[in-house]
Amino acid sequence: MMLPNRSLIATVSLAFVLAFSFSLPTDGQQRFSGRLENLANQLVRQSRDVADRLERDYRRGFNNGRRDVQQLYQARMFVAGADLLAQMTREGRPENELNDAVEFLRSQVNFEPGWGNLRGTLDDLSRELRFSGRDPGRDPGGGRQGGRRNDGGWNDGRVTGRMRWFGRVDDEIYIYVQDNVARTELISGQPTLNERFSFTSPLPRRTVSVSVNRLRGRGRVEVFQQPSVNNNFTAVVRITDPGRGATDMEFELIW
């Protein structure tokens, strides 16, 4: 299969960005922080690095498979999307539009080791958007900071870190999360396969409340134990899958 040369790919990416950007009306009334623009520009740089690396690997290979081609094209399309997001931040687009753009880009990120920085930057963008327009003197939750009860464990309701985990699970396992390490204990069923995890920041060595979002797979994912001084600040996640055979499971732990 012939791979289009790099200049053609860049031209297609630029056309993609321009086609959408010129159709976007401007709204100068809403201004977002300089950090938001910096994060968007950081995402552009990181995505270009990933795409360049994948293209180098592709050109060095002589027996590339379909997956290699798909990853390369997905990376180049992600660069175009990141460019568009950066332009939207410069134009001061409304928060709901930027949130939609960030969530779309998040859905395009592969769970591969080289994409970890992209996921972390997207998480930072989401946090910045969530709090960029909030009046710090106002309590929007009626006694609950940020809509979550401020009991000393939520850092005033702000999300300060995330861990994403992926693995092929059969029946029941526990995952022990401490600092920046996730350790799996098999309770029943076949051993867990293809385990991968990444952190945006280590789990703090202090009392925090964690929650879990299932991103993929069947069965149930739940926080079995909150981190505390009694368990050396370890969060325990329980996964149960009563279905037949193993399932690919992916979740996000948030604190």
181-188, strands of its sheet edge to edge: 181-188, 171-178, 235-241, 220-225
Per domain, the residue ranges of the chain are 6-132, 162-254
pTM: 0.46
- Identity (one letter) of the amino acid at 25? P
Alpha-carbon distance 34 to 132, whole Å? 10
Please report the pLDDT score of residue 164 as a whole number.
93
pLDDT digits (tens, 9 = 90+) for 61-119: 888 888 888 888 889 999 999 999 999 998 888 888 888 888 888 777 765 667 778 88
Tokens of 152: 């000393």
pLDDT digits (tens, 9 = 90+) for 119-132: 888 888 887 776 55
Beta carbons of 252 and 213 less than 8 angstroms apart: yes
Which candidate, 214, 203, 50, places its Cα nearest to that of 117? 50
